[in-house]
């Protein structure tokens, strides 16, 4: 049975602020835990007025302290922005506080624009080209210390942190396969190379001490409501946000509007159709059929579901509807 998890981008809705967005994240995590979801991940984005999880490990601490069973993770930490030792210490601390519940997804993109990336790093000499080396260094910090080791992650060494490689192209698939790590693909916003990446990862996977066989988690947008029309209405918030971002106008998560797609020119309409093709939007019946079809097509071991819904009650209802039509969650709850 394919496991379901939650990706929360800590959206800041129009008319709201960061404080409410972070309170909503904890509220959603508690809701997901009650429903039986497996993980609750947050993502590192910077200079984004509509996303409140820039300090990802801090928000994770907030969520983990407010829940008791659900795994809490980063989907992901953009490793070129950080020294591996710092991340080992941060996640080692989280794992010491919440044993057996902490995940670390690693990505090589900056999670922002180049000007902001430079402000984060002070220079761009630490770019994605060193990502494999940094991942290996980070994994070593989580291992037990060896005699004579000069630099140790305390907390960090010997901690049970589940490490994933993230990707939206074939690069991450190759690295995850080589290192024998689980792989999460960002099909919820970059589905173009999904099938190729899955084939590369599964074909080239090398078992490791961390993982015996390939494990794939795929991002999927799921907007569920009582009717197809209501779900499409809720989905318009994400569509607007995506058009704004691709137009260089990132902002808070917009309020939904009726028939948004009909107002678009052909180019942005085609962009949305491609970028958000991994989306299931509709009534309980529509959602059940769509999610099952996506699982059959991809063979995903786990889906990490995101729903950028402006209204918190409607967002929680969407995850509850999905839980109600997915047998795996009913057994876990």
Please, how many CA atoms are within 13 Å of residue 35, restricted to the half-sphere of its CB? 25
Answer yes or no: is pLDDT of 331 > 70: no
- Is 301 part of a structural domain of the chain? no
Percentage of the chain with pLDDT > 90? 85
Q: Which of these ranges, 5-14, 71-80, 124-133, 146-155, has the smallest mean pLDDT? A: 124-133
- Is 239 part of a structural domain of the chain? no
pLDDT band at 118 (very low <50, low <70, confident <90, very high): confident
- Is 311 part of a structural domain of the chain? no
pLDDT, one tens digit per residue, over 106-117 is 999 765 667 766
Residues in the chain, overall count: 333
- Is 264 part of a structural domain of the chain? no
- Is 250 part of a structural domain of the chain? no
The answer to whether residues 194 and 278 touch, using CB atoms and an 8 Å cutoff, is yes
pLDDT, one tens digit per residue, over 265-287 is 999 999 999 999 999 999 999 99
Specify the pTM: 0.94
- Is 95 part of a structural domain of the chain? yes
- Is 296 part of a structural domain of the chain? no
- Is 277 part of a structural domain of the chain? no
Residue 129 sits in a domain whose CATH number is 3.20.20.30
Please give the mean pLDDT across all residues of the chain.
93
For 140, the domain range is 3-220+319-332
The two structure tokens encoding residue 178: 């080589």
User: How many domains does the chain fold into?
Assistant: 1
The answer to whether residues 61 and 101 touch, using CB atoms and an 8 Å cutoff, is no
Return d(Cα 31, Cα 290) in angstroms, integer: 23
């Amino acid at each position: 049975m394919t496991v379901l998890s939650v990706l929360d981008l800590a959206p800041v809705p129009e008319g709201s602020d960061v404080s409410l967005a972070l309170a909503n994240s904890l509220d959603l995590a508690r809701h997901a835990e009650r429903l039986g979801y497996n993980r609750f991940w947050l993502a590192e984005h910077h200079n984004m007025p509509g996303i409140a999880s820039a300090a990802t490990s801090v928000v994770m601490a907030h969520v983990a302290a407010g829940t008791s069973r659900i795994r809490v993770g980063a989907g992901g930490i953009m490793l070129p922005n950080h020294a591996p030792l710092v991340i080992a210490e941060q996640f080692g601390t989280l794992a010491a506080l919440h044993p057996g519940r902490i995940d670390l997804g690693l990505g090589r993109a900056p999670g922002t624009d180049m000007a902001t990336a430079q402000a984060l790093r002070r220079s761009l000499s630490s770019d994605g080209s060193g990502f494999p080396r940094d991942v290996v260094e980070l994994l070593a910090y989580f291992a037990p210390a060896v005699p004579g080791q000069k630099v140790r992650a305390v907390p960090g060494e010997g901690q049970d942190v589940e490490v994933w490689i993230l990707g939206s192209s074939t690069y991450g698939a190759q690295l995850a396969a080589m290192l024998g790590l689980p792989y999460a693909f960002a099909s919820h916003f970059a589905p173009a190379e999904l099938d190729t990446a899955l084939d590369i990862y599964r074909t080239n996977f090398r078992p490791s001490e961390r993982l015996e066989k390939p494990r794939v988690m795929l991002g999927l947008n799921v907007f569920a409501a009582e009717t197809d029309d209501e779900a499409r209405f809720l989905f318009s918030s994400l569509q607007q946000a995506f058009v704004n971002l691709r137009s260089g106008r990132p902002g808070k998560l917009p309020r939904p509007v009726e028939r948004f797609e009909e107002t678009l020119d052909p180019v942005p309409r085609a962009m949305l159709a491609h970028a958000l093709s991994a989306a299931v939007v509709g009534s309980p019946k529509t959602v059940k059929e769509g999610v099952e079809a996506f699982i059959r097509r991809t063979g995903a071991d786990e889906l990490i579901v995101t729903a950028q819904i402006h209204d918190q009650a409607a967002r929680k209802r969407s995850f509850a509807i999905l839980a109600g039509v997915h047998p795996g969650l009913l057994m876990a709850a």
